[in-house]
Structures are given as structure tokens and as C-alpha cells.
Amino acid sequence: MHLTFGRSNDNATTDRRTVGGVTDFALQFGAHVQRARREGRPVVALESTLVSHGLPRPDNLRVAREIEQTVRDHGAVPATIGMIGGRLIVGLDDAQIEHLAGADDVAKLSVRDLAVAAATGANGATTVAATSAVAAAAGIDVFATGGLGGVHREAAQTFDESADLTTLARTPITVVCAGVKSLLDVGATLERMETLGVTVAGYRTRRFPGFFVTDGGFDLDWSLDSAQQVADAAAARTHQGVSRAALIVANPLPPDEQLDPALHDQTLRTGLAELAERGVSGKDVTPFLLAHFHSRTEGRSLAVNVRIILRNAALAAQIAVAAAPAPA
């Protein structure tokens, strides 16, 4: 692996091929993340696909900024990850986040896309899979998102299972999420995570959350009850040296903040029907269904989605702080 430190990332439009004779395809660190690393401060990775493809404009930019601010408010430094002009950036600055939130040429990048996207100078937002992989490569141990990708409902026919799962199986990072959305096959997703050796623990619960709804309908074997306990579990994984899979911390919304389950079920039914009718498939499925929820519930699912992300960002920051060595 070739990591480059100390390089400025504020010239997104300059030649990306060589800088000082070194290829510019290495990870680039935003100035704030560079500083945090130098000072040994806790860092939380954040994904950009939920901003570019998961949330509607113009709320998405406001929410992206709120997520970063929430991480800061809880004592950690945010590192939003994405690609600008082929440069894979750990710690996008505000103008770069604004670009990914507003531009029409932003690709949805999973791990397999990163190299060709770089070679072609693309702008792109990273999924849970790509963000986890890049964060781990950058030495960041904690990542906050909304919901994971998983096994889609028609997967038995379509083979549509998110690369989030297989990537998490080989990526040692702690991911704070609110489970997976009920638009997926939740039971099959949990089974696949078991097969793949991905650790899943509820945060103060033994029920797997269903993203918009508090209870996704399935039991979990483990509950972790404090940020310190999560940090300890991650440290145990590292020190045992046995597993290199992710630790998923499933953080449910309190029941009084969830989307009304009846509204949820009805919206899901119409969304799945529309999906089939229009023949939406592949990587467009998740963004399509999210947009359907946000428009059909007149913004209620969006408000819930934002609450989920901000709560996860806060918990991830607390975990990163708990894991950080005590300041000298």
C-alpha cells in the first residue's frame, strides 16, 4: 500500500497524474484530517453516496454538513470520503462536498469502481463498501452511516446482493448503522453476514433495527452497551489477530422517533411495485426506493433518515473518542 501524507488537496482541478514525480493516484488526505492524524485525534469516516444518491437535494448538502458538525460536537474529526476528478480523498472539504451533493456527473462508486474511476478522472461518491475499504486503508477505525446495503428481495433470481457485505467481511473497521432498510431481505442479509463472518451487535438492544423502523424483526446474539464497550470489542478483534472482518454496531432509533410502521409498510409496498413496473435494477434500486419513500411520505421518511444519520454520527464519534489513546 502506498499512502501519501502531507499533500494538499485543495487544487482539485490541477493535473492529477504526477506531483513531484509521484503518481497522484494514492489516497489524498484533507487538511483537517492530516492535522488530526498528526495530533493523534479521533477520526470518524463518513460516506458520500448517502449524500449524492440517498438524500434529495437541496437537503442533502445541509445534512452532509450537519453530519460533520455532529462528529465535531462529540469530540472527533469528520473524514467524508469521495472522489473528485479521479482523486480519492479522505476528508473532503466543504466545496468538494458541495460538488458531490449538487453535480449531475457523480458516479456511485463501490470498491470495484475506484481504480477505473481514478484513471478516467471521475467525480464519485463512495458507498458503504468503498468508504469502509478506503477508511481502513487510511488507518481510520470508525465509520458512521445510515443503513448498510444487503441482500435484495429478489436476490434468489437476480443475485443482487450489495458488495457492502463481502467488503465488510474483509475490512477491519467499526461501522455504526441503523441496520438495513426493510426494502431489502433483512433475514437473508443477517444470514449472509453470519456466513461471511461479519460481527453484528446491537447498541443497547438484541433486536436488529430496520432503519426507518426501530425493530427490523430479527434477534441478535449480542448487545454492546456503551461506546467504551464497542471500542473494547474492536480492540479485542485487533489484539486477538483472528478476524479481519467488520464490527457492525446496529443503533436503532427510539420507537417514538421511527417512521410510523403502518405508513412504512404501505410505502414499501408501492415502492416495490413501482420498481417492478419500471424495471429498475442493479445499483439504481437503492436510490430509487429511497427517493420513493421521501416523496411518498411527504418528507417524513427524510426527517427520520436524517435523525438516524446524526445519531449514528454521534455514537461513532463517542466510540472513536473511547478508542483514542489518552492525551499525553
C-alpha cell at 242: 483472528
Look at residue 261 and give its three-state secondary structure.
helix
Q: With CB under 5 A as the rule, give the number of residues binding Mn ion.
A: 1
The residues in 195-214 that bind Mn ion, with binding defined as CB under 5 A, are: none
- Judge whether 236 is annotated as a binding position: no
- For ligand PSU, which residue of 30, 42, 54, 209 counts as binding (CB under 6 A)? 54
Using the minimum distance from each CB to Mn ion, give the nearer residue, 113 or 160: 160
The residues in 132-161 that bind ligand PSU, with binding defined as CB under 6 A, are: 146-147, 149
- Judge whether 164 is annotated as a binding position: yes
> Taking the complex as a whole, how short is the minimal distance between the CB of residue 12 and ligand PSU, in angstroms?
22
C-alpha cell at 241: 489477530
Q: With CB under 6 A as the rule, give the number of residues binding ligand PSU.
A: 19
Look at residue 46 and give its three-state secondary structure.
strand
Using the minimum distance from each CB to ligand PSU, give the nearer residue, 24 or 160: 160
Q: Which does 267 bind (CB under 5 to 8 A by kind): Mn ion, ligand PSU, none?
A: none
- For ligand PSU, which residue of 123, 127, 267, 312 counts as binding (CB under 6 A)? 127
- Judge whether 323 is annotated as a binding position: no
283 is catalytic: no
Q: How far apart are CA 8 and CA 67, in angstroms?
A: 24
Cell 418528507 belongs to 299
Using the minimum distance from each CB to ligand PSU, give the nearer residue, 309 or 317: 309
Residue 49 engages ligand PSU in binding (rule: CB under 6 A): yes
Residue 286 engages ligand PSU in binding (rule: CB under 6 A): yes
Give me the phi and psi of 172, to 5 degrees please. Answer: -80, 90
Burial 109-133 (b: 16+ CB within 10 A, else e): bbbebbeebbeeebbbbbbbbbbbb
Q: How far apart are CA 13 and CA 11, in angstroms?
A: 5
> Taking the complex as a whole, how short is the minimal distance between the CB of residue 262 and ligand PSU, in angstroms?
20
Residue 162 engages ligand PSU in binding (rule: CB under 6 A): yes
Q: What are the CA-CA distances from residue 20 to residues 6, 16, 83 (Å)?
A: 13, 11, 21
- Judge whether 104 is annotated as a binding position: no
- For ligand PSU, which residue of 24, 47, 68, 185 counts as binding (CB under 6 A)? 47
Active-site annotation holder among 68, 161, 181, 283: 181
Active-site annotation holder among 39, 47, 257, 283: 47
- In DSSP notation, 167-216 reads HHTT---EEEE-BB-TTB-HHHHHHHHHHHT-EEEEES-SEEEETTEEEE
- For Mn ion, which residue of 24, 141, 160, 164 counts as binding (CB under 5 A)? 160
Residue 164 engages ligand PSU in binding (rule: CB under 6 A): yes
Interior angle at CA 265, CA 262 and CA 267, nearest 5: 105
Q: What secondary structure letter does DSSP report for 258?
A: S
The residues in 27-46 that bind ligand PSU, with binding defined as CB under 6 A, are: none
181 is catalytic: yes
Q: What are the CA-CA distances from residue 68 to residues 71, 73, 135, 141, 279 (Å)?
A: 5, 9, 16, 17, 36
* Of 68, 196, 82, 77, nearest in space to 134 by CA: 82
- Judge whether 160 is annotated as a binding position: yes
Residue 113 engages Mn ion in binding (rule: CB under 5 A): no
Using the minimum distance from each CB to ligand PSU, give the nearer residue, 74 or 181: 181
State the burial class of residue 209 (Cβ atoms within 10 Å of its Cβ: 0-12, 13-18, 19+). Answer: buried
* Helical pair 94-102 and 59-73, crossing angle rounded to 10 deg: 150
Using the minimum distance from each CB to ligand PSU, give the nearer residue, 209 or 322: 209
Give the residue numbers of the binding site for Mn(2+).
160
Question: Could you give the residue numbers annotated as active site?
Answer: 47, 181
Residues that bind ligand PSU (CB under 6 A): 47, 49-50, 53-54, 127-129, 146-147, 149, 162-164, 181, 211, 283, 286, 290
